[in-house]
Each structure stands twice: as C-alpha cells, then as structure tokens.
Amino acid sequence: MRKHVRLLVVEDDPDLNRQLVAALNDAGYAVDRAFDGEEGCFLGESEPYDAVVLDIGLPKMDGLSILDQWRRDGRNMPVLMLTARDRWSEKVQGFDAGADDYVAKPFHMEEVLARLRALLRRASGHAHCELVCGPVRLDTRSGRVTVRGAAVKLTSHEYRLLSYLMHHVGRVVPRAELVDHLYDQNYDRDSNTIEVFVGRLRKKLDCDVIRTVRGLGYRLATADDLH
C-alpha cells in the first residue's frame, strides 16, 4: 500500500477512533484524526485528503452538516459515513449530502477497509459503482438492481443482503455474519429470517446465483460456477 495515500478519521468515540486509525495505519495509509465536528470540518477544508471516514453523530458539528459544507465548498474527496444501526433516514440524508458509501455501527473493520479501497479505486478511475454476478447487476450509487436488464424491486433488507453477498462474491458468508450486518445486537439469532430473505431474493432474481453451503452459510456464484 502506498504510504502517501492520506486519510482523515472523524469519530468522537476515543476507542473506536483509535481502532480505526490503527487498522488504517496497519493497512499502509497515512491517517489524521479528529474527535469533534469542528476540528474535522477544519481539517477536511484545509488538508488534501484522499478519503475521509466521517461519523454522523459528532459533538460541536454533526457529520451531515460537515459533509454538506465540504461539498458546497467544492471538496470532492470520497467520504465513507459511519451511521447508527438501522437509521435509514440518516443514510438517505448522508447520500443526499454527498456521501459515497456508509457502514453501520457496529461493524467489522475488514468491511471499512474494503469499502475504503473501493472508494479510493473509484476516485482514481479504476473502479466501477456497478457490482455484477452473472445476469445480476447492482448499482451502488443508485441502489438499482437489474437481472438481464430488467429492474428488480427489493426491500431495504433484501438489498443490503444482496449487496453484502455481491461485495464478497465467491466467499462463503456465514449466516451469523449476515445477521450482524443486517440487525442490531438484540436480534434473535435463532430466527430463520435470513433464510426467508434469501428465499425471497432467489424468487425475485429468478436465477441461480445464491448458493447454500450447508452448515456454513451462503455465497454468490462465481463466473466459473455459471459457465
């Protein structure tokens, strides 16, 4: 990883801020940090960052206001928003304000790293906002899903489930990991809701791209599987 890639982390929780900065440093990035909105906004306006990890709920100035100000001032670096679990209105507001992607708390650090890599690739012109698996296409910018060119309407949870699997094509994703991604910590992990969502997705997509790996979880088919 090139050390001159420079990131900013704006997160008021000291432990989470430290964990994010440590993980990003370990991944080879140069990282600055801020613990409140005013400091984060100032750094984002005055320093040339390649990408920013920005929490929404910040003291002194909230993340949405910061992002709106940056975009109005012409600051176009990719921004990964950190949001509270299941706060869909915040996520919509974040995208409207100019966010490039989001991760809901609590999250796996690997997901933050993967999403940042995607944002950095996209910003440098090497990435696509469209995820493809066989006849299924998911546009991460618009949230549009198509199968063989025809639009497919999904619920928010179905979309998140499909998006997560498509970000991990070919990897077996354990059921517990999907539960962690879709629900808060109080969710009944013995529920069969994930199975219900997978069944609905299969029916709506009408193609054999979601594979069950018995006893382990689910994975999306690779190109080799589909040939």
Number of domains the chain contains? 2
Q: Which of 72, 98, 123 is the last residue of a domain?
A: 123
**Which of 133-137's residues contact partners 24+ apart within 8 Å by CB, and which partners?**
133/166, 133/169, 133/209, 133/220, 133/221, 134/207, 134/209, 134/221, 134/223, 134/226, 135/207, 135/209, 136/162, 136/166, 136/205, 136/207, 136/209
Q: Average pLDDT for residues 160-168, to the nearest whole number?
A: 83
125-139 pLDDT tens trace: 544 567 788 899 988
3-50 pLDDT tens trace: 357 899 999 999 999 999 999 988 888 899 999 999 999 999 988 888
Global pTM reads: 0.55
46-71 pLDDT tens trace: 888 889 999 999 999 999 999 989 98
Please report, for the domain that includes residue 16, its CATH number: 3.40.50.2300
Q: What is the extent of the structural domain holding 74?
A: 6-123
Percent of the chain residues past pLDDT 70, beyond the cut: 85
Average pLDDT, the chain: 84
Above 80 in pLDDT, residue 77? yes
What is the secondary structure of 98-149 as a DSSP string? T-SEEEESS--HHHHHHHHHHHHHHHTT---SEEEETTEEEETTTTEEEETT
Please report, for the domain that includes residue 200, its CATH number: 1.10.10.10
Above 80 in pLDDT, residue 142? no
Are 112 and 175 members of one domain?
no
